[in-house]
Amino acid sequence: MNLFPFIFGCEGEKTTSQERIFFRQAQPFGFILFGRNLKNPKQINDLCQSLRDSVGWNAPVMIDQEGGRVARLGAPHWFEFTPALQQSENVYAERTFWLRGRLIAENLRLSGIDVNCAPLGDIAQPDTHHILRNRCYGTDKSQVIINARALNSGLRHGGISGVLKHIPGHGRAKLDSHLFLPKVLSDQAILEDTDFSVFKELKDMDMGMTAHLIFDQLDPKNPATQSPAVINMIRNEIGFTGLLITDDISMNALEGNLKTRALKALGAGCDIVLHCNGVLQEMKLLHQNSRELAGESLDRAKLSINNRPTPVSIDILQLKEEFESLMNE
């Protein structure tokens, strides 16, 4: 399998002939969908099939469907959810997070999508930037670990692979990394006991996504995504052995042009570069300056592909009723 270290988007609700030709040549690891690509379940199924046909194999197609504010799919075709932080306050939180994951999985699988960029392992702090805070699964590490495990289990029960994010922890960011580069000044011992320890408990997941922020005591110059020191810590101290994917490299937390951003991330130890905006010329530039996946990165990619879960049949309407009942307790 000749794969290149990218997850790419596409421009619209259908692939263009130029995109299909490029994807056939580029052979990215997978694809990601956004609101611009989504209309209804049949259209999304057709788009997913077109993307997979373009590369000639059953490539992963992913989406950000956390539920709450970050949800690419909504009514009337798909389930909607309260923000995760609010849900974490429910007395039945662990069960409701499993149900949330299973219901989301049903929506995604029936639309042709097989990977979700969730769960989150970030701990909500009082001053976590609002772009992230109410997406978190709790305000303490035990709460986040339990709820993240539950949601991932629900996803896999429904046939969807999860992507753990944002390794090694984004909860202390006071800035929006889509626009700025946050810097975490906390003592490393505190981080090891809180933020990092969450991901250590969740390290068995097949895929993870990095955080675009600086951990000053580990590497004061480079964001985690592009920091050999932080990636080494993720691998050797947190113990995460899965496929490590960057957050979107178009985000303004990262400096330099796209080529520089991608090469720095791959050079630091990330396995896959995520490029979301679907701009064909940008994708071509990235591909022209890359090499095929090889070595441990290729092994991790193959493992994540081979470990895609098989859905377990269940009464979805009954689960939806249970979820709503528990949330109203």
CATH of the domain at 252: 3.20.20.300
Domains of the chain: total: 1
Does 213 fall in a domain?
Answer: yes
Tokens of 65: 């469907």
Q: Looking at the domain assignment, is residue 313 inside a domain?
A: yes
In a domain, 15, yes or no: no
How many Å apart are CA 118 and CA 151, to the nearest integer?
8
Report if residue 53 sits inside a domain.
Answer: no
pLDDT tens for each residue of 119-153: 999 999 999 999 999 999 999 999 999 999 999 99
CA distances from 241 to 107, 136, 141, 244 (A): 29, 23, 21, 8
For the chain, 329 residues long, give each residue's pLDDT as a single digit of tens. 799 999 999 999 999 999 999 999 999 999 999 999 999 999 999 999 999 999 999 999 999 999 998 999 999 999 999 999 999 999 999 999 999 999 999 999 999 999 999 999 999 999 999 999 999 999 999 999 999 999 999 999 999 999 999 999 999 999 999 999 999 999 999 999 999 999 999 999 999 999 999 999 999 999 999 999 999 999 999 999 999 999 999 999 999 999 999 999 999 999 999 999 999 999 999 999 999 999 999 999 999 999 999 999 999 999 999 999 999 98
User: Which residues are tagged catalytic?
Assistant: 178, 247
Decide: residue 36, CB within 10 A, 0-12 exposed, 13-18 middle, 19+ buried.
middle
Cβ neighbours for 204, distance < 8 A, ≥ 6 positions apart: 242
**Of 113, 109, 205, the residue nearest 163 (C-alpha):** 205
256 occurs within a structural domain: yes
For residue 85, tell me if it sits in a domain. yes
pLDDT at 40: 96
- What is the predicted pLDDT for the residue at 120? 98
Give a yes or no: residue 46 inside a domain.
no
- Which range marks the domain in which residue 92 is found? 74-270+280-327
